[in-house]
Chains A and B, each alone.
Chain A
Amino acid sequence: AQSVAQPEDQVNVAEGNPLTVKCTYSVSGNPYLFWYVQYPNRGLQFLLKYITGDNLVKGSYGFEAEFNKSQTSFHLKKPSALVSDSALYFCAVRDRASSASKIIFGSGTRLSIRP
Chain B
Amino acid sequence: EAGVAQSPRYKIIEKRQSVAFWCNPISGHATLYWYQQILGQGPKLLIQFQNNGVVDDSQLPKDRFSAERLKGVDSTLKIQPAKLEDSAVYLCASSSTSGGGQPQHFGDGTRLSIL
Contacts and interface: CB of A to CB of B under 8 A. Distances in A.
A binds B: yes
Given A41-B108, A107-B40, A46 B101 contact: no
Contacts of A92: 42
A71 interface: no
Would you call the interface of chain B mostly helix, strand, loop, or mixed? loop
B106 A49 contact: no
Given A41-B108, A42-B108, A102 B48 contact: yes
Which range holds the interface residue count of chain A?
A: 20 to 34
B100 A46 contact: no
Contacts of A43: 4, 91, 93, 106-109
Contact of A44 (B41, B45, B106): B106
B42 A108 contact: yes
A85 to B, nearest CB: 19
Interface residues of B, number: 22
Interface string B24-61: 00000000000000001111110010000001100000
A43 B91 CA distance: 7
B91 A103 contact: no
A100 B45 CA distance: 13
Interface string A84-112: 00000010101010011111011110000
A90 B56 contact: no
B31 to A, nearest CB: 11
B103 interface: yes
Nearest to B111: A41
Most buried by A among B40, B48, B103: B103
Interface in A31-48: 32, 34, 36, 41-46
Contact of A103 (B4, B55, B104, B108): B104
B43 A94 contact: no
Interface of A: 32, 34, 36, 41-46, 49, 51, 90, 92, 94, 96, 99-103, 105-108
